[in-house]
Structures are given as C-alpha cells and as structure tokens.
Amino acid sequence: MAKKKSSRTRGKAESAQHERRQQRLEERRLAKEQEVAREARAKRRRDFLRRTILVLVLGVSTWFFFFRNQPLTEIAGTRIMNFSTSGVNVHRTGSLEYETTPPVAGPHAPQPAACGTYAEPISDEEQVHTLEHGAVGIQYRPDLDPKQIVVIEDFVAGYETHVFSAPYPGMGPNVVVSSWGEKIELDSARPQAIRAYIEAFRLKGPEKQDCPNSSDESFSP
C-alpha cells in the first residue's frame, strides 16, 4: 500500500514540475512577445521621428533655397525696380547711354568713383563702376530741401565703405537709391527706406572690391 502512495506522490510531483516548466515557458514566451512588441513600438517611434525630421529639413531647405533666394520686390513699403545686370567687367571710354536714370548697370568707365559724399554730380560711367563693386548710391535732385540733403549725407557718413551720395540734375524722382541692377525712387529722404535698402544691397555687387568713403564734400544748393 505504501508503494502505491509513493507512486502517486511522485506522479503528482512530476505533474506539478511539468506545470511549472510550462508556466515558465509561457512566461518566457509572453516576455518575448512583450519585448518584440516594445521593439516594434520603438521602431515605429524612431521611423516617425526620422520622417518628421526629414519633412522639417526638406521644408526648411525649400524655404531657404527657394523663398530666400527670390528677389526682393519691395523694401520699407517702396517697390524695388529691377533692371538688366549686364556689363560686368565691361570697360568703355567716353560717354555711354544707359537704360535708367541714374544708371544701375551696364558697360562703364575703367576707373570707379570713390565712395563718400559729393558736392558735384558723378559721371554715369564712373558711378556704374562703383555700383559694380557693391556700393549703394543715394542721389537727389539739386533742388531737394537742404535739410533732407543733410539727412542723406549723414547716412553716408555713418558707413566707412561702399556708400556714396551726389546731386543728379534732371532726375525725375526727388531721391533715388541704387545698387547694381536695382533701385528705388523716393519722394523724400525717408530714413527707414534708405537704411533698409543699404542693409539689403550694400556689398552685394558682382565684384568684391574695396570702396572706402574717402570723399567728404558737402553739397550746397
């Protein structure tokens, strides 16, 4: 009788041991499934993050290379007029004809005008060469209010290089601010527009050449 009891005990022990093994296997299987699920979720998060970053990078790149490279159409509420930029490094002697008054591009004199303030008009041919070097010109009718001329000359004096001012007889607008290939026309010496234009176009000419503001003449009507 004792032997039968011992046999049943062993059977129960083996059954319990088998159940524990099965339970451990099931726990390991569940743990493995959970780990696989966690890795899958982590991979989805990484993929989503990579796609989001890629979209952002492409968006920023598109904005930078497309929108930032689009030419300005206005500045301080004033329309920017764009013209042909031909004539880079084309030197001619004598009097030349230009598309605009004052001129903003085209063939020009071999010698540029110095930057700074002038009491007399600068020749078209010399000022175009100066614009080619990245200068910004501020020109005005000789009959402009003298107080506004002082404002213009003070602007030029605020820069060490690449800005010049001079009277321009026969000019239609009261004030023209120009650079290589573009200009704005103003009814008066508006500080906001002049400053914004200088900051946008100064040193942006096709040739990088020095142009210190070495002329310090003052115009007297």
> What digits encode the pLDDT tens for the residues 156-179?
999 999 999 999 999 999 999 999
Confidence of residue 125 (pLDDT cuts 50, 70, 90): very high
Per-residue tokens: 89? 């490094």
- Specify the residue for token string 């890629």: 54
pLDDT score of 1 more than 60: no
For the segment 135-147, the average pLDDT, to the nearest whole number, is 97
57-61, 126-130, 192-196 — which is least confidently predicted?
Answer: 57-61
Query: In terms of residue numbers, what domain contains 178?
Result: 74-216
pLDDT in the model for residue 13: 66
State CA 219 to chain mean position distance.
Answer: 35
pLDDT score for 165: 98
Question: 53 lies in a domain?
Answer: yes
Token pair 């704005």 is found at 184
pLDDT value, residue 28: 81
Residue 221 lies in a domain: no
- How much is the pLDDT for 51? 79
**Based on the domain organization, do 80 and 174 belong to the same domain?**
yes
pLDDT at residue 67, rounded to an integer? 46
Instruction: Give the pLDDT score at 58.
Output: 73
Kindly report which listed range (13-17, 23-27, 41-45, 116-120) carries the lowest average pLDDT score.
13-17
With b meaning 16 or more CB within 10 Å and e meaning fewer, what string describes 64-94?
A: eeeeeeeeeeebeebebeebeeebeeeeeee
Percent of the chain with pLDDT over 70: 86
Residue 180 corresponds to which amino acid? W
For 139, list phi and psi in degrees, rounded to 5: -120, 150
Is the link from the previous residue into 112 a cis peptide, with omega within 30 of 0? no
Residues 40 and 138 in one domain: no
Residue 72 CA to residue 87 CA, distance in Å, equals 22
Is residue 65 over pLDDT 60? Answer: no
Amino acid 11: pLDDT: 64
pLDDT score of 132? 97
Least confident of 54-58, 119-123, 203-207: 54-58
Kindly report, residue by residue over 90-101, the tens digit of the pLDDT.
999 999 999 999
**pLDDT for res 40:** 76
The answer on 108 and 209 residing in a single domain is yes
Q: What's 199's domain CATH number?
A: 3.40.30
The answer on 78 and 64 residing in a single domain is no
pLDDT at 30 over 90: no
Q: Last residue of a domain, which of 43, 70, 97?
A: 70
Report the pLDDT averaged over residues 138-160. 96
SS3 101: coil
| pLDDT surpassing 60 at residue 29 | yes
Residues 111 and 60 in one domain: no
